[in-house]
């Protein structure tokens, strides 16, 4: 079974993924793959330097992620250019990993931009982690020391809460405690697997 998992920035996708993995699911994390495909020495990073110049590299030669973020979350055309380098590579890696899963495995594809990239129909179920925008902003400021304007810029680069909710077969409200979240995730997994 292949399950899509999505949610707005800082909604709690990684936290949900970690719980699902503990409960036995295989998780494919798109954010992690998006880092791997631009690792130092990669073709992906070379393409990014061709497009954006060496200014997006840190002193260590790795992608300067805050600098890249400042560019692409302020400019949609540049964001599309970056996505054109990263998304095909992430997609190819995800397919390779998914191909190694067994028939009885629950494979969870954690894809922040699942709705934005129209991938709903590729999955047997779509889990959406849902919180109001105020909670996203609050968690980005508190847990990631982001400025409010940067948090709002990321939210503005994504689908709306309503668009994501419309794509959900299973909605996970993450406005409660971590304990509440754990219960709800276990419940959803049980619904999916019938176990």
Ligand X SMILES: Nc1ncnc2c1ncn2[C@@H]1O[C@H](COP(=O)(O)OP(=O)(O)OP(=O)(O)O)[C@@H](O)[C@H]1O
Ligand Y SMILES: CC(C)(COP(=O)(O)OP(=O)(O)OC[C@H]1O[C@@H](n2cnc3c(N)ncnc32)[C@H](O)[C@@H]1O)[C@@H](O)C(=O)NCCC(=O)NCCS
Which residues bind to ligand X, rule: CB under 6 A? 7, 9-15, 31, 112, 139, 143, 174, 176-178, 181
User: By CB under 6 A, is residue 79 in contact with ligand Y?
Assistant: yes
Q: Is 15 annotated as a binding residue?
A: yes
Whether the CB-CB separation of 47 and 81 falls below 8 Å is answered with no
Interaction mask 114-133, ligand Y, x per CB under 6 A? --------------------
The interaxial angle of helices 148-156 and 133-144, nearest 10 deg, is 130
The single residue among 9, 25, 172, 185 that binds ligand Y, judged by CB under 6 A, is 9
Binding residues for ligand Y, rule CB under 6 A, total 18
- Which 3 state secondary structure label does DSSP give 168? coil
Residues 62, 33, 157, 61: what is their CA dihedral angle, to the nearest 10 degrees? 0
82 vs 181, which CB is nearer to ligand Y? Answer: 82
Residue 108 to residue 25: CA distance in whole angstroms: 7
Residue 193 to residue 188: CA distance in whole angstroms: 9
Residue nearest to ligand Y (CB): 9
Q: Is 13 annotated as a binding residue?
A: yes
Q: Which of ligand Y, ligand X, none binds 30 (CB below 5-8 Å, type-dependent)?
A: ligand Y
Q: Which of ligand X, ligand Y, none binds 181 (CB below 5-8 Å, type-dependent)?
A: ligand X
User: By CB under 6 A, is residue 101 in contact with ligand Y?
Assistant: no
Shortest Å, Cβ 102 to ligand Y: 25
User: By CB under 6 A, is residue 158 in contact with ligand Y?
Assistant: yes
Window contacting ligand Y (CB under 6 A); options: 20-28, 80-88, 123-131, 166-174:
80-88
User: By CB under 6 A, is residue 112 in contact with ligand Y?
Assistant: yes
CA atoms within 13 A on the CB side of 129: 31
Number of H-type helices and E-type strands within the chain: 9, 5
- Across-strand partners of 129? 7, 172
10 Å CB burial of residue 149 (0-12, 13-18, 19+) is exposed
Whether the CB-CB separation of 165 and 120 falls below 8 Å is answered with no
Interaction site with ligand Y (CB under 6 A) = 9, 30-31, 34, 65, 68-69, 72, 79, 82-83, 86, 90, 112-113, 154, 157-158
Binding residues for ATP: 10-15
């Amino acid at each position: 079974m292949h399950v899509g998992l999505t949610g707005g920035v800082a909604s709690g996708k990684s936290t949900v993924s970690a719980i699902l993995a503990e409960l036995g699911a295989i998780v494919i994390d798109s954010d992690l793959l998006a880092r791997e495909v631009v690792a130092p020495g990669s073709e992906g990073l070379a393409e990014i330097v061709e497009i954006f110049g060496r200014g997006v590299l840190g002193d260590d030669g790795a992608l300067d992620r805050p600098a890249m973020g400042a560019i692409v979350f302020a400019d949609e055309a540049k964001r599309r250019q970056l996505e054109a380098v990263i998304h095909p590579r992430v997609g190819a890696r995800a397919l390779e990993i998914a191909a190694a899963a067994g028939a009885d495995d629950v494979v969870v594809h954690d894809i922040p931009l699942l709705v934005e990239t129209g991938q709903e129909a590729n999955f047997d179920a779509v889990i959406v982690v849902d919180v109001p925008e105020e909670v996203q902003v609050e968690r980005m400021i508190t847990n990631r020391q982001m400025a409010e304007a940067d948090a709002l810029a990321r939210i503005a680069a994504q689908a709306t809460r309503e668009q994501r909710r419309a794509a959900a077969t299973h909605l996970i409200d993450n406005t409660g405690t971590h304990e509440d979240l754990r219960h709800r995730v276990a419940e959803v997994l049980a619904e999916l697997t019938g176990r």
